[in-house]
Amino acid sequence: MSKDYSAVARSVVEKLGGANNVVALTHCMTRLRFVLKDEAKIDAAALKGVKGVMGVVHNGDKCQVIIGNNVAYAYQEVMKLCSLDGAAADTPAPKVKLTPKVIGAKMLDALVGTMSPLIPAIIGGSMVKLAAMLLLMFNIYEADHSTIILLNTIGDGAFFFLPIMVAASASIKFKTNMSLAIGIAGVLVHPNFIDLMAQAADGRAVDLFGIPVTSVRYTYTVIPVLIMTWILSYIERWVDSITPAVTKNFLKPMLIVLIAAPIGILLVGPMGIWIGTAISAAVYAIHGTLGWLAVAIMGALWPLLVLTGMHRVFTPTIIQTIAETGTEGMVMPSEIGANIGMGGACLAVAWKTKNIALKQTSMAAGASALMAGISEPALYGVLVRLKRPLIAALITGFIVGGLAGMAGIASHSMAAPSLFTSVQFIDVNDPMSLVWVLGLMALSVVLSFVLTLILGFEDIPNDEDEASPTAAKESAKENAEEIETPVPAKPATA
């Protein structure tokens, strides 16, 4: 471990109102995601100044603390302080009046909070599938060779069993029994159930107690199980309230499964598929209408979506689109200019600034964006602080996104676009696709670099004593180190 994160964890927990104020905690690739009892106890200004914290996103009783690529270390230390072994997570959150805004915020939080812990597995599977694709492209193996079949199976694992992963993650978010959630989700990927759905798709009648079952394919899906697990949390509490204490050990789980599974199969599952399909259709209808302009707009907006954490909203859409068509041609191509552009802007800041600490921060943050596709260090450590370099990155995202849309660039996986993951955009039937992608990445670096120098920025004096820049410098430096030697993260559980 390059740094003792116990001090960072203690300071973060203190500024969040103490360990007793933490209800639940998960982490994604760069952020600690807290759920708190009392948002009034959050000292956001002091939290931003904690040495080791790169930024804070505060929304009601939810607080995201940006740490960087070493977030797993901070997560482990915070878990020790808060003792989140289930006791704290069961503490009821304060009731909030439901309004359309609150409902929308809760839905977004549920989706982002559920999907964020699953991203490493999804990216890992995507990269393995890309490796298999490259072996085929260079004629190292034939498509029916056992090596290719096994690599594709390894890569598909996270996607085929995505409903089970979503159930496990959502059970933490909705504070319900994980084993029951996994068991019910497992029904949807059981071989017998898949066979029945195939028969239903062919026109054969399939019913449960005389009620027709809609033919749905649940592998590679997110929304159905997310909704099912949310409903399960209410079913579990209701069944618990009506079952006698002496029968809870056997009667309670049996009733929960017998109630929740049929509801999921008959109603919630098909409804979730319809919702997911409608969202995907809406997104790609915009793409179909605006064409390359939709990719350009997404490229310009992407850094702002990352700032708020809303970029994870597109994860289910990307997964479903790749599963159905094999490629995704709107969101992922738009990230080329956005991610690489933020890295190029940071390099320009490092080139021009006279501030030694800012120079080190910019170099490390730029490397994180360029090499790993992780842009939070660049956003919070450099661009948001200096503002005009962020504008340069937004312009770059628009221009490069538009060019990617015109070229018809599409991704075969969900890894964050970077120099190391550029292979995800290779079309085996079009060798020039690699030339296009590498050319767009080079343009992103040059364009954002030049625009940053043209727009300029207000440099930070060397003698300015700021806690936050110091924290950003050290965290970004560690991020660069971790790109070379990544450390496996402990599973994000609360």
Q: Which of 28, 63, 82, 346 is catalytic?
A: 28
Alpha carbons 108 and 14: distance in angstroms, whole number? 27
Phi, psi of 269 (to 5 degrees): -60, -55
Q: How far is CA 322 from the centre of its chain?
A: 16
Q: Which of 490, 434, 483 is nearest to 68 (CA)?
A: 483
- Which residues, 6+ apart, have CB-to-CB distance to 236 below 8 Å? 176, 177, 180, 256
Helix-strand-coil split of the chain, %, nearest 5: 65, 5, 25
- The secondary element (H helix, E strand) that includes residue 249 is none
Alpha carbons 350 and 365: distance in angstroms, whole number? 10
Structure tokens at 342: 């933020």
Judge whether 28 counts as a catalytic residue. Answer: yes
137 by Cβ neighbours in 10 Å (0-12 / 13-18 / 19+) ranks as: middle
Alpha carbons 379 and 66: distance in angstroms, whole number? 10
Alpha carbons 325 and 279: distance in angstroms, whole number? 16
Whether residue 367 contacts residue 483, with contact meaning beta carbons closer than 8 Å, is answered with yes
Whether residue 55 contacts residue 380, with contact meaning beta carbons closer than 8 Å, is answered with yes
Alpha carbons 387 and 19: distance in angstroms, whole number? 34
Q: Which residues are catalytic?
A: 28
